[in-house]
């Protein structure tokens, strides 16, 4: 019988897995506000207006399940400052799981990120802030290779493609260089996924001990 995730207490919450609790430690270390399982959602059939819009926005093809009710979904974390949902999975979601996660993202019309795998060792991060060869990935709707990054100007933390801090929601970089002529990063890049604060947060989350850990 496969091992089941262990309920883990942290910060006044009972998490469904130790991995979720470790992500909460990472958020706290960075000073990122979070809410754990704040509400559940009905995964109703995809409205026609959204189905018509998605191919243009996400290059999405119609799915056989678009007219189906896919049950309910209780997302793991809400990150208010990032205006994003953050899901945690220890293993790659199944095709059915992806259908539900994509439906959730479509209906809520909010950024939704899915972190798959154990928290990576920051010593293996690439120069711009990606872990290498550890079975870890952060996905968003229809895309992957997302990572935590830090704004060069106001220190705001966000999730962006390839850890490009020029794309953070605070908009500092775009305000300074609206024409993508930034001398520091070749336009819209500014890789900052390996700043000391982010590396330290991963280390703290990996090293965290909880009440129900084996002695």
- Binning pLDDT at 50, 70 and 90, where does residue 181 land? confident
Q: Which of 40-49, 166-175, 196-205 is most confident? A: 196-205
Residue 58's pLDDT is 58
Q: Is the pLDDT of residue 2 over 50?
A: no
DSSP string covering the chain, please?
-PPPPPPEEETTEEESSHHHHHHHHHHHHHT---EES---EE-PPPPHHHHHHHHHHH-PPP-TTTTS---EE--SEEETTTTEEEEEESSPPPHHHHHHHHHHHHHHTSEEEEEESSPPPGGG--TTS---SSS-EEEBTTB--EEEEE-TTT--EEEEETTBGGG-TT-HHHHH-TTS--TTTTTTT-B-TT-HHHHHHHHHHHH---TTS--
Q: Is the pLDDT of residue 129 over 80?
A: no
Residue 170's pLDDT is 95
Q: Is the pLDDT of residue 1 over 70?
A: no
- Average pLDDT over every residue of 193-214: 91
Q: Are 171 and 197 a contacting pair, CB within 8 Å?
A: no
- Average pLDDT over every residue of 173-177: 88
Alpha-carbon torsion, ordered 200, 201, 203, 206, to 10 deg: 170
Who wins on pLDDT, 70 or 130?
A: 70
Residue 48's pLDDT is 82
Measured distance CA(46)–CA(30) in Å, rounded: 36
Least confident of 34-48, 87-101, 109-123, 124-138: 124-138
Residue 59's pLDDT is 59
- Binning pLDDT at 50, 70 and 90, where does residue 56 land? low
Average confidence score pLDDT of the chain:
89
- Average pLDDT over every residue of 180-209: 88
Residue 57's pLDDT is 57
Measured distance CA(127)–CA(11) in Å, rounded: 32
Task: Report the Cα 195 to chain-centroid distance in Å.
Answer: 18
Q: Which residues contact 192 (CB under 8 A, 6 or more apart)?
A: 128, 129, 149, 150, 151, 152, 163, 165
Render pLDDT for 36-46 as a digit per residue (tens, 0 to 9): 999 999 999 99
Who wins on pLDDT, 15 or 179?
A: 15
- Average pLDDT over every residue of 94-113: 93
């Amino acid at each position: 019988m496969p091992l089941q995730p262990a309920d883990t207490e942290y910060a006044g919450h009972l998490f469904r897995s130790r991995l979720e609790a470790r992500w909460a430690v990472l958020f706290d270390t960075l000073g990122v506000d979070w809410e754990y399982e704040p509400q559940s959602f009905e995964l109703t059939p995809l409205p026609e207006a959204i189905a018509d819009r998605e191919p243009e926005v996400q290059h999405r093809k119609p799915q056989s399940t678009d007219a189906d009710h896919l049950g309910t979904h209780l997302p793991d974390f809400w990150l208010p400052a990032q205006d994003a949902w953050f899901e945690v999975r220890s293993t790659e979601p199944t095709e059915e799981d992806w259908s539900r996660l994509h439906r959730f993202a479509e209906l809520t019309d909010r950024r939704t990120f899915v972190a798959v795998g154990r928290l990576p060792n920051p010593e293996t991060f690439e120069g711009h802030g990606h872990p290498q060869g550890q079975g870890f990935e952060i996905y968003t709707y229809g895309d992957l290779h997302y990572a935590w990054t830090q704004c060069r100007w106001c220190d705001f933390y966000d999730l962006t493609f390839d850890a490009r801090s020029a794309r953070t929601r605070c908009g500092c970089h775009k305000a300074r260089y609206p024409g993508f002529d930034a001398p520091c990063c070749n336009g819209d890049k500014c890789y900052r996924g390996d700043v000391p604060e982010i590396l330290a947060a991963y280390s703290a989350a990996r090293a965290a001990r909880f009440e129900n850990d084996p002695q």
